[in-house]
């Protein structure tokens, strides 16, 4: 795992940890990697109590209703950490995990979190602290999602989502990570209706966009 250190030391899960402590934590949590070279739906990750750190690529948690309509529950990219609650969705309908091509996940043994190693090492405790803090930040993102999903109209949902993204990026100009269909799934709206509304919003001087690039206009 030493060749991964330049990347691992930049990730929130390993914040404030020296290279030696990162390697020790990986040993404590029995770390192992898995690479997905093709996009796929994942129904089973194996160990139910495992954690995952996305090193490359991305994973989305999706939901499908009885009519085949899909919506994005949450999405994760490089540096994000997946705890057992999300990984367990891989085998529970109507939820499933979608992994994009070129995704590399570092799996950690979640059982180790329940029983600190015999050395009670600082590395172990730091990783647990960072995991708790990361989970708290993710809860905030889920609250943001509740905010834009609770809006009544497609325009209100779009504006709420884009406003949240502008705040996260610290600028009115930013890229979104979704295709139009994925964005519609995220907002739980019809794709055609959303595209029509985006055009109207641009004509009304509220936004400017080109593909995945958006800019909020006005006050």
DSSP code at position 89: G
Structurally, at CATH architecture level, domain 151-216 sits in Orthogonal Bundle (1.10)
Are 41 and 61 in contact by the 8 Å Cβ rule? The answer is no
> 2-137 maps to which CATH number?
2.60.120.10
Q: Which residues of 70-95 are buried (b: 16+ CB within 10 A; e: fewer)?
A: bbbbbbbeebbbbbbebbebbeeeee
Same fold, 2-137 and 151-216: no
Q: Is the pLDDT of residue 213 over 90?
A: yes
Give the model's confidence band at 194: pLDDT under 50 very low, under 70 low, under 90 confident, else very high.
very high
Q: Which of 97, 112, 102 is nearest to 45 (CA)?
A: 97
Output the pTM of the full model. 0.66
Q: Is the pLDDT of residue 216 over 80?
A: yes
Segments making up each domain of the chain, as ranges: 2-137, 151-216
């Amino acid at each position: 795992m030493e060749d991964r250190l330049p990347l691992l030391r930049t990730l929130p899960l390993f914040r404030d940890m020296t290279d030696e402590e990162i390697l020790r934590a990986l040993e404590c949590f029995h770390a192992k990697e898995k690479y997905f070279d093709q996009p796929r739906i994942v129904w089973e990750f194996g160990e139910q109590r495992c954690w995952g750190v996305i090193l490359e690529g991305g994973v989305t948690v999706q939901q499908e209703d009885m009519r085949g309509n899909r919506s994005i529950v949450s999405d994760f990219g490089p540096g994000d950490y997946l705890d057992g609650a999300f990984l367990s969705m891989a085998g529970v309908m109507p939820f499933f995990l979608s992994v994009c091509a070129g995704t590399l996940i570092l799996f950690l043994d979640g059982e180790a979190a329940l029983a600190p190693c015999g050395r009670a090492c600082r590395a172990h405790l730091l990783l647990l602290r960072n995991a708790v803090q990361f989970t708290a930040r993710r809860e905030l993102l889920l609250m943001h999602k509740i905010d834009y999903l609770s809006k009544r109209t497609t325009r209100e949902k779009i504006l709420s989502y884009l406003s949240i993204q502008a705040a996260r990026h610290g600028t009115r100009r930013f890229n979104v990570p979704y295709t139009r269909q994925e964005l519609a799934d995220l907002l739980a709206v019809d794709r055609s209706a959303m595209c029509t509304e985006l055009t109207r919003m641009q004509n009304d001087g509220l936004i400017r966009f080109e593909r995945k690039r958006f800019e909020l206009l006005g006050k």
